[in-house]
Amino acid sequence: MPTAEEFRQQEIIHDDEEDEPALLTTTWENLNIYEVDRENREVHRLLDTRFLPSDSLRRGDKWIDFDVTPALTRRRKEDSNDLIEFYIKRLVSNATPMSIDLRDSAALIVQIETPETANQSRRRKRSTKKNKNRRRKPHHNQPKAKNLCRLESLWVDFKQLDWDDWIISPAAYDAYQCRGKCTDAPPSARQNYSNHAIMQTLIHSLNASAVPPPCCVPTEMSPLPILYRDVHNTTIVHKYPDMIVEACGCH
């Protein structure tokens, strides 16, 4: 039986011209999500509907929550590990179809993990984590000296926090952390000092008892999409801000 599911809501962009009449910005639209039948892809089962103003869909980078619990429940009963395919249809209030741009890949991606594939999945996650670390853009705050301000791994496991009863995915993730000292005098660019931190460091170098050195803190953060069940047992995906440290500096 499935032990975890996750899906990712892709960005939905309105492709009309930017100088369209102002009247359209107040139009209300239906956004429907369907489950595509495995045997006949022409058959679509309506799962959920959202009624939204057009201008909210044109802003970009908007996350929309859909309840796809019936599709996941049906797949559990079938004891199937097949990919669940979803179809999104967007209609304006007069029921005229509007074109949409689904970027990257499918609008929704569902991943089901079974006990038989758990070990293989964990190996893939470790490999992905290593690749992500290699792809992460270089920062000035990653000096060779290990005692200076730098970005380090901080692995968060929701099971250890007893949150795995409501968080479906990810089961764990690397939040990263900032560690090290900000004691260079004069301050070096590689540690990403703020102007205030530069002044504080210089004063600290003259009189350490008068003022402490700056602290190594996050300077860039990124969000994390989390798939979870609410108090009504509804499956929801939400993009939580400031969950991952991207860069550190002395402040």
CATH of the domain at 208: 2.10.90.10
Q: What pLDDT score was predicted for residue 163?
A: 92
Same domain, 100 and 47: yes
Number of domains comprising the chain: 2
In-domain check, residue 211: yes
pLDDT in tens, 196-221: 888 888 888 888 888 888 899 999 99
CB-count burial class (<10 Å; 0-12, 13-18, 19+) for 152: middle
Which two tokens mark 157? Answer: 């496991």
Query: Whole-angstrom Cα distance, residue 55 to residue 30?
Result: 13
- Nearest Cα to Cα of residue 64 among 100, 36, 37: 100
Same domain, 24 and 60: yes
In-domain check, residue 123: no
* Least confident segment among 74-88, 95-109, 183-197, 236-250: 95-109
Same domain, 211 and 140: yes
- pLDDT bin (cut points 50, 70, 90) of residue 37 is confident
Same domain, 26 and 111: yes
Residue 118 CA: distances (Å) to CA of 1, 76, 121, 123, 194: 12, 17, 5, 9, 45
In-domain check, residue 8: yes
Mean pLDDT, rounded, for 1-9: 41
Same domain, 103 and 63: yes
Q: What pLDDT score was predicted for residue 248?
A: 92
Same domain, 112 and 163: no
In-domain check, residue 126: no
In-domain check, residue 122: no
Q: Could you say which of 81, 116, 151 is where a domain stops?
A: 116
Global model pTM greater than 0.75: no
Same domain, 212 and 110: no
Which two tokens mark 85? Answer: 């395919």
Same domain, 102 and 159: no
In-domain check, residue 46: yes
Task: For residue 31, give the CATH number of its domain.
Answer: 2.60.310
* Least confident segment among 9-13, 83-87, 132-136, 227-231: 9-13
In-domain check, residue 143: yes
Q: What pLDDT score was predicted for residue 220?
A: 92
Long-range contacts of 137-144 (CB under 8 A, 24+ apart): 139/192, 139/247, 139/248, 140/189, 140/190, 140/191, 140/192, 141/178, 141/190, 141/191, 141/192, 141/219, 141/247, 141/248, 141/249, 142/190, 143/188, 143/190, 143/191
Domain boundaries, position 25: 4-116
Average of per-residue pLDDT values in the chain: 70
Q: Could you say which of 64, 82, 116 is where a domain stops?
A: 116
Q: What pLDDT score was predicted for residue 188?
A: 61
CB 219 within 8 A of CB 249: yes
For the chain, give the percent of residues with pLDDT over 90.
15
Query: Whole-angstrom Cα distance, residue 14 to residue 20?
Result: 11
Mean pLDDT, rounded, for 63-67: 76
